[in-house]
């Protein structure tokens, strides 16, 4: 009879494992419905713009209007998601998108839509998505156990790409038969499924010993953390390069369908459908692929495949060839971004997760926005095939980034809060706004181990600065070479208390490794010095 660990290992290896949880399952199904509506909208909006304007730049601006709000608003949205109730924030974002989609549907039914009106409504809809996205990603670890996180994220990819497989085709046929307004109306109704599922979810309230951060302070601390998280920086750099080059295909695909392949809206929807079908195939096979190959091999293969698709699709002799190409492109797109998404989720602790993921989304959609507008401009001057060839060549060159920004495979560091880390020792109560605070730690170090101690303290410096220190230093006593003093300055007593809350299990291991060089009978002497009144 298999033991419990064997059963859990089997569940963890199955991409369908997280669906055994009722809450995750209901939200996932609702998201699938909403994603179908979103992809129906995308194919309708892109095709509607080609009907109103054949200028490549205007068509590409539909993708830019979809991406720009994420670049502008995802970071404050991520900060909000870390300091307010995430469930309520999701409900607000979904309601906003419902209203924006309904407005677009009304304009379309009244035949009052213009190119700039379409861009404005698309921008408003994407603004709601920008508020929703970092919050949505941040709640996934709250819905499933850590062993199931990679599979839950893969299932989210399945939901997106099943929708991508069927949504565009459905949207294309509805546009052809009933007009764009019908698609926009159905998209607005799809948000009701998500609102209902989130409303039924009863999230455990977050217990806070300290008051929540202010919005701008939360944004600043999120930036500070990301600047000192090398693995997260690698994710951002690699995804930005991939998306910047890959956005050419997304931006120009409506024109490829209409001009190069002479296909109607149903043909364009079919191309997007095969893209989604390829992505679903990749999502279902990714757990086995990750077990057989390193992440760098998979990332390299995905980049080269997508580059080949970009270079060849504008020369497709017929729609069937284009469908094969987009199928391969969808598999490559999902493989690359799913691996990076899992890495991003596991590279940051819970207290800063939404802000870090928002930073990732800002860079991601900033690259998508700039790429869409840039490739559209280039295609208007040199032609669609030449612009895609340049994008493909740039993506091939971009694979060399793995040397500068490698992506680590395997299990990441334990970023759970360290509940055993002691609180600072003080006499009496200290007002939260007192500061700045100077913290010193007095070490006794064998001079023969001074170099090793200094190297270990470099890792300590990263933790101090990442968690709130504005100045850090390590000093040796000129009169006593065995005495070392670590000092760091924090804005306020409240910010120092937050430093204690932010210590993770992985951080404790780093700090204890440095403290092992201390030769005193007890731990290093710690002092907290607060600026006078």
Condensed to tens digits (0 to 9), the pLDDT of residues 55-77 reads 777 777 887 788 788 778 888 88
Q: Assess whether pLDDT exceeds 50 at residue 3.
A: no
Among residues 113, 78, 105, the alpha carbon closest in space to that of 93 is found at 78
How far apart (Å, rounded) are the C-alpha atoms in residues 361 and 358? 5
Task: Measure the CA–CA gap between 244 and 394, rounded to whole angstroms.
Answer: 9
Q: Which one is predicted more confidently, 56 or 377?
A: 377
Question: Per-residue pLDDT for 6 more than 50?
Answer: no
> Is the pLDDT reported for residue 8 higher than 60?
no
Q: Quick one: tokens of 452?
A: 């090793």
pLDDT of residue 5: 45
**Rounded to whole angstroms, how far apart are CA atoms 463 and 513?**
13
- pLDDT: is 309 or 146 the higher one? 309
Contacts of 36 (CB under 8 A, 6+ apart): 162, 163, 166, 167, 170, 190
Q: Give pLDDT tens digits for 156-210.
A: 777 776 776 677 778 878 887 888 889 899 999 999 988 988 888 876 665 666 7
| pLDDT at 4 > cutoff 50 | no
Is pLDDT above 70 for 131? yes
pLDDT in tens, 17-39: 788 877 888 888 888 888 888 88
**Residue-by-residue DSSP string for 451-509:** HHHHHHHHHHHHHHHHHT-SEEEEEEETTEEEEEEEEEEES-HHHHHHHHHH-BHHHHH
Give just the sign of the alpha carbon dihedral 79, 84, 85, 90: negative
Rounded to 5 degrees, φ, ψ at 502 are: -85, -10
Q: Which of 54-58, 93-97, 361-365, 522-526 has the lowest mean pLDDT?
A: 54-58
Q: Which tens digit of pLDDT belongs to each residue from 256-305?
A: 888 778 777 778 778 877 887 888 888 788 878 888 888 899 999 999 99
Task: Choose among 27, 282, 335, 13: nearest CA to 165.
Answer: 282
Mean pLDDT of 406-430: 77
Kindly give, in sequence order, each residue whose CB lies less than 8 Å from that of residue 165, ignoring residues fewer than 6 positions away: 273, 274, 275, 276, 277, 279, 280
Return mean pLDDT, the chain: 85
Using a cut of 0.85, tell me whether the model's pTM lies above it.
Answer: no
The answer, yes or no, to whether residue 16 has pLDDT greater than 70, is: yes
List 490's β-bridge partners, or say none: 437
**For residue 143, what are its two tokens?**
């819905």
Cα(168)–Cα(177) distance, integer angstroms: 14
- Model pLDDT, residue 10: 46
In this structure, what token pair is assigned to residue 60? 């590409």
Identify the structural domains of the chain with CATH numbers, from first to last: 18-202+211-402 (1.20.1250.20), 437-530 (3.30.70.100)
């Amino acid at each position: 009879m298999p033991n419990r660990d064997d059963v859990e290992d089997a569940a963890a290896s199955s991409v369908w494992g997280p669906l055994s949880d009722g809450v995750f399952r209901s939200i996932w199904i609702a998201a699938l419905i909403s994603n179908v509506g979103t992809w129906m909208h995308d194919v309708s909006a892109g095709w509607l713009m080609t009907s109103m304007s054949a200028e490549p730049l205007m068509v590409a601006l539909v993708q830019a209007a979809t991406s720009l709000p994420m670049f502008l608003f995802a970071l404050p949205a991520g900060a909000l998601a870390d300091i307010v109730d995430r469930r309520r924030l999701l409900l607000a974002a979904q309601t906003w998108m419902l209203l924006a989609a309904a407005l677009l549907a009304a304009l379309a039914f009244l035949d009052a839509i213009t190119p700039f009106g379409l861009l404005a409504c698309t921008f408003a809809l994407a603004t709601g998505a920008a508020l929703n996205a970092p919050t949505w990603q941040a709640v996934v670890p709250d819905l499933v156990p850590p062993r199931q996180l990679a599979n839950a994220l893969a299932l989210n990819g399945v939901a997106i790409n099943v929708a991508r497989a069927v949504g565009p085709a459905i949207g294309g046929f509805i546009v052809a038969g009933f007009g764009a307004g019908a698609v926009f109306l159905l998209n607005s109704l799809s948000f009701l499924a998500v609102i209902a599922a989130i409303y039924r979810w009863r999230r455990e309230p977050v217990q806070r010993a300290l008051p929540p951060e202010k919005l701008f302070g939360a944004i600043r601390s999120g930036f500070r953390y990301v600047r000192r998280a090398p693995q997260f920086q690698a994710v951002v750099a690699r995804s930005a390069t991939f998306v910047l080059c890959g956005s050419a295909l997304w931006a120009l695909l409506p024109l490829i369908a209409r001009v190069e392949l002479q296909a109607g809206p149903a043909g364009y929807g079919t191309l997007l459908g095969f893209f989604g079908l390829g992505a679903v195939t990749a999502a279902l096979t990714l757990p086995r692929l990750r077990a057989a190959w390193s992440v760098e091999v998979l990332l390299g293969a995905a980049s080269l495949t997508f580059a080949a698709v970009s270079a060849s699709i504008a020369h497709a002799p017929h729609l069937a060839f284009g469908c094969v190409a987009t199928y391969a492109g969808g598999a490559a797109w999902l493989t690359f971004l799913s691996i990076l998404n899992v890495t991003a989720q596991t590279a940051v602790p819970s207290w800063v997760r939404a802000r870090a993921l928002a930073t990732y989304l800002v860079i991601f959609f900033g690259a998508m926005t700039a790429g869409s507008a840039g490739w559209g401009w280039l295609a208007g001057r040199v032609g669609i095939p030449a612009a895609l060839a340049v994008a493909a060549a740039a993506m091939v060159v971009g694979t060399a980034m793995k040397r500068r920004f490698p992506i680590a495979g395997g299990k990441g560091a334990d970023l759970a809060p360290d509940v055993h880390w002691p609180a600072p020792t003080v006499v009496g109560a200290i007002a939260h706004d007192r500061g700045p605070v100077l913290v010193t730690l007095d070490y006794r170090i064998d001079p023969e181990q001074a170099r090793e101690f200094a190297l270990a303290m470099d890792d300590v410096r990263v933790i101090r600065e990442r968690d709130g220190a504005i100045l850090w230093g390590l000093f040796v006593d000129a009169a006593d070479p065995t005495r070392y003093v670590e000092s760091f300055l924090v804005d306020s007593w409240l910010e120092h208390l937050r430093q204690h809350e932010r210590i993770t299990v992985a951080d404790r291991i780093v700090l204890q490794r440095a403290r092992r060089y201390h030769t005193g009978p007890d731990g290093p002497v710690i002092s907290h010095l607060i600026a006078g009144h």
